Structure 1
Amino acid sequence: MKHSLIFLLAITAVMPAAPGGNDNPRQSRPLADVMADIRKQFDLDLKIPQRLLDGKTLDYADYRIRRYSAEESLRNVLAPFDLMFEYETGKTYRLLAYDHPRRSPAEGAREMQYLAALYKDRAAWEKQARALRPALLAALRLSPMPDAPRAQPILTSERRMDGYRVQNFAIETLPGVFVCGSVYMPGRVAGKCPLVVSPNGHFPGGRYRDDQQIRCAMFARMGAWAVSYDLFAWGESLLQFDASAHRTPMAQTMQILNGIRIIDYFSKLPEIDPDRIAVTGASGGGSQTMMLAAIDDRVGVSVPVVMVSAHFDGGCPCESGQPIHLAAGGMNNVELAALAAPRPQLVVSDGGDWTAGVPDVEYPFLRHVYGLYGKTEAVANVHFPREGHDYGPSKRKAVYSFLAAHLGMDLTAAQNAKGEIDESACTVEPVEALLAFGPNGGFLPARAIKGMKQLDKIFESAE
């Protein structure tokens, strides 16, 4: 088994006992005993939270076990309880409750075959694309789009680095709701610059971590304005919302709205070329990248990193909490990424997560859709089979080259005398230096709302 296998088991009713009772005591057994037998029969290492087994009894248990297949046996036994399992490594499996964003790689591959046959020509694809975009906005509760506050962003003083400048900001995206971040700007400005929006993923340290700062600093050294900002209910957003708010469907709405508002503000600055806007992020930031490119035509180039997958939609409610994957009859993240066609797109994948099959499964579909426009050269995949889930140095190098080619950025500014990508001139600042509202949020405006109840009222009044 080369790839993780995740099987969604959505059958919810336990098979009733046979009429007249059950005379065979082995036909109705505690689920814990059945799992113990499967573990022994197939020599498996099963990671099972006890709460998933407590109080559960399975009818016709022995008849559900298939001696030729551990996985088919697990499917048959767990399905009546709305449970699923995930293959980890070797003979290790983990049991978990039904998780709607997850499917098996095999299911993802079958869906991509179905979609390739469904969208045989450009007319068929564009019909779906026209239906998806408004449906996505509706699912996000962004149709109609809430009115934007008229307040000007809060800006800190600039800090000069080697070949670039950094300034922190707070943009009011809804009345009393702020998104905070830092903008990395070229040290010298000659004409209008491209804009690279960099939504953050679920990595320790958030936007303050080393690789996020380095990536944005390199974009700035290459001649772009690069914007890095907090996830909802992360970073400085915690001044307004409890951390638990991040794991709510509204987090997905707010993160996409924050991205739109950031593009609204920065794209109108005299230093920015509104025809050269890109979005790139990894993991949860990759989910935001795909969504922003799908619904906002101002995004001319997109680079979703370690996120495009036919069998995984993103496990955090900030990625799949709203019913976006039910939009227009249903869609997966590959269709979401394809909505960027025919605009340039680089999909970055690796062998250590749910993007392991991209070269063989997801990327061919993207090339198919781009081919409907005669633009197969506009989409590319860089795959790192021996790497894991990150936005590491090799992935960044690929992105630097791609954005330089499509946004007219100066790649030589990112290279040393040998022509190698060199990030050593970038400064990694402490968290305190990147705060828009200062230590302990001392500069948070008095009008700032606090808590999800107040945020819900804003949306209820707008709908």
Structure 2
Amino acid sequence: MMKSVPMLLAILLVPAFAVAQNRVQPELMEVPEIRSSWDDLTEGIATKEDWIARREVLKRRYLDLLGDQHKPEKPPLDLIVHEDVVVDGLYRRQWISYAVEADERAHAYLGTPLELDGKAPAIVALHGTYQHGSKRAAGLIDNPDKAYLDHLCRRGYVVIAPEHFVSGERTPAAGPYDTAAFYEKHPQWTAVGKFTYEHSIAIDVLQSLPQVDPQRIGALGHSLGGHGTFFLAAYDDRIQASACNCGASFFRHNPNVEGWGRNRWYIYFKPIREGLLKGELPPIDFHEIIALIAPRAFLDVSGLNDGHIPTQKQRLLMLMKIMDVYELNGVPENLGFYVHGRKHSVAHESRQLIYGWMDAHLKPAEATQTHLVVPAAEE
């Protein structure tokens, strides 16, 4: 009697299934757990509450690293407009200044779209190590890839591009980015503490403007402005979305770590130099600083071949561990990273990703919503 085709298939497949069940999986088909030195970020952390407690410890360490306890008392803004022009009939660009210390004023370009439908999102755009950095950020000089104020005003953002405190109008007598005079005035503070504090005051400026939605403020930057972005977002919870482009390496796994506490020119953290020379790293590293941004949105864009490649590869492990913190907070969608091979650049695709990230996190949902095509007969 002929067996049915389904029955024959069942008989034939049973031995094969049994063999498959008993087969030892090759090692390459297994998924090993990735372990790295960055795992200390969440060591002993099992819940969101555990993380909140750890975060308080890390925030204190971060403020100590900045020397935040040595910052001066914040003066009234005393905002002054020095120049006012309209660009292409699309936005107003103003050259402004405001007080950051009792005897110091910061300068910045401020851009405001001419046609706004209600209060607009705003962005602090930070330039890199360039003598006339804010002019470049405004699109007036040098590389237009870094003209963030111009690009973003055309996308509907109010933008402030502050000038770094040792460049432009405040270039020291010793030359651009020389911090010797700063440390003579503030021997216990740090250059990173100084620029982070000033960038926080730039947020004050934005929040003082009637055209800005104070709850929708972001920050972005390249190079010095890139790590300045996450230093700011970790420092000031008013930053709701941030993006770092090519923002330097960290303390650990960095053969050039002494550069963070060098004894000449631009000295980031002068107080840590003695420890670095002894091989001692600070009690907080960059994965812990960036994790302070969670649950707010953060995007890291970096070149795998930007500098020391083995160190940059560690950046990927670092970011994967930071993702664990965002998972704990229930918002994994608020962390992103993109790694490319374009070295120290902010190329077209990087800019589009960064600007899209800002749109997704600072604009209303309908601004990034897609739609199906409606056939003409149904219109």
2:335 to 369, 379, 382: 379
Matched, 1:298 2:225: no
Unmatched segments (≥5 aa) in structure 1 = 1-108, 414-463
Q: Assess, with a 3 A threshold, how the Cα gap between structure 1 residues 223 and 265 changes in structure 2: closer, same or farther.
A: same
Residues 149 and 159 in structure 2, CA contact (< 8 A), matched pair in contact too: yes
Match of residue 251 from structure 1: 191
Q: Give, in whole Å, the separation in 2 of the partners of 1:275 and 1:287.
A: 23
Question: In structure 2, do the counterparts of structure 1 residues 409 and 182 end up closer, same or farther at CA, with 3 Å as the change threshold?
Answer: farther
Distance in 2 separating the partners of 1:365 and 1:116: 8
Does residue 148 of structure 2 align to residue 187 of structure 1? no
**2:77, 2:100 within 8 Å by CA — same for their partners in 1?**
no
Tell me if structure 2 keeps the 8 A contact 1:284–1:314: no
242-251 vs 155-164, greater mean Cα deviation? 242-251
SS in 1 for 2:78: coil
Distance (Å, rounded) in 2 between the aligned partners of 1:118 and 1:308: 29
Q: Decide which of 224, 229, 232 is 2:157's aligned counterpart.
A: 224
Task: Give the equivalent residue in structure 2 for 1:122.
Answer: 48
- Tell me, yes or no, if the aligned pair for 2:191 and 2:269 is still in contact at 8 Å: no
What is the CA–CA distance in structure 2 between the aligned matches of 1:204 and 1:212, rounded to whole Å? 17
CA distance in 1, matches of 2:191, 2:112: 28
Matched, 1:315 2:315: no
Displacement of 1:410 after TM fit?
10
| Rounded Cα–Cα distance in structure 2 between residues aligned with 1:279 and 1:314 | 27
Q: CA deviation at 1:186?
A: 0.9
Corresponding letter in the other structure for 1:218 = H
The answer for the alignment partner of 1:388 in structure 2 is: 343
1:182 Cα deviation after fit: 0.5
The aligned counterpart of 2:321 is 365
What is the letter of the counterpart of residue 221 of structure 2?
A: G
Q: CA deviation at 1:358?
A: 6.1
Shift of residue 339, structure 1, vs aligned partner: 0.7
Counterpart position of 1:267 = 207
Alignment-derived partner of residue 30 in structure 1: none
- After superposition, what is the alpha-carbon deviation per residue over 1:114-157, rounded to whole angstroms, capped at 9, x for unaligned? 43445444334322211222333344333275322225122123
Corresponding residue number in structure 1 for 2:18: none
Residue 278 of structure 1 contacts residue 299 of structure 1 at CA under 8 Å; is this kept in 2?
A: yes
User: Aligned ranges for residues 64-463 of structure 1 at < 5 Å?
Assistant: 110-143=36-69, 146-150=72-76, 152-162=78-88, 163-203=90-130, 205-209=132-136, 210-211=143-144, 214-238=147-171, 243=176, 245-246=178-179, 250-307=190-247, 309-310=249-250, 311-312=253-254, 315=259, 317-323=266-272, 330-353=283-306, 356-357=312-313, 360-384=316-340, 386-408=341-363
Change (3 A) 1:222 1:213: same
CA distance in 2, matches of 1:306, 1:244: 19
Secondary structure at the counterpart of residue 345 of structure 2: coil
Query: Contact 1:309 / 1:358 at 8 angstroms: preserved in 2?
Result: no
Deviations 1:278-300 (A, max 9, x none): 11112211221111111211111
- d(CA) in 2 for partners of 1:223, 1:269: 15
Given the superposition, is the C-alpha separation of residues 307 and 364 from structure 1 closer, same or farther in structure 2, using an over 3 Å criterion?
same
Amino acid at match of 2:201: R
| Residue identity matched to 1:236 | E
Equivalent-residue separation in structure 2 for 1:230 and 1:315 (angstroms): 22
The alpha-carbon distance between structure 1 residues 350 and 213, as it changes in their structure 2 partners (threshold 3 A), is closer
CA distance in 1 between partners of 2:76 and 2:336 (Å): 39
Q: 1:138 to 1:344 in 2, by over 3 A?
A: same
1:168 offset after TM fit, Å? 0.6
Q: CA deviation at 1:380?
A: 0.8
- Is the Cα–Cα contact under 8 Å of residues 140 and 322 in structure 1 kept in the other structure? no
Alignment of 1:15-30 (within 5 A): none
Identity %: 24
Q: Kindly provide the amino acid, as one letter, of the partner of residue 383 in structure 1.
A: V
Structure 2: stretches of 5+ with no match in the other structure: 1-34, 137-142, 184-188, 261-265, 369-379
* Aligned-partner Cα distance in 1 for 2:321–2:127: 26
Query: Alignment length, in residue pairs?
Result: 304
Q: CA RMSD in A?
A: 3.2
- For the residue of structure 1 that corresponds to 2:346, the secondary structure is coil
Determine helix, strand or coil for the equivalent of 1:361. helix
Alpha-carbon distance between aligned partners in 1 of 2:294 and 2:304, rounded to the nearest angstrom: 25
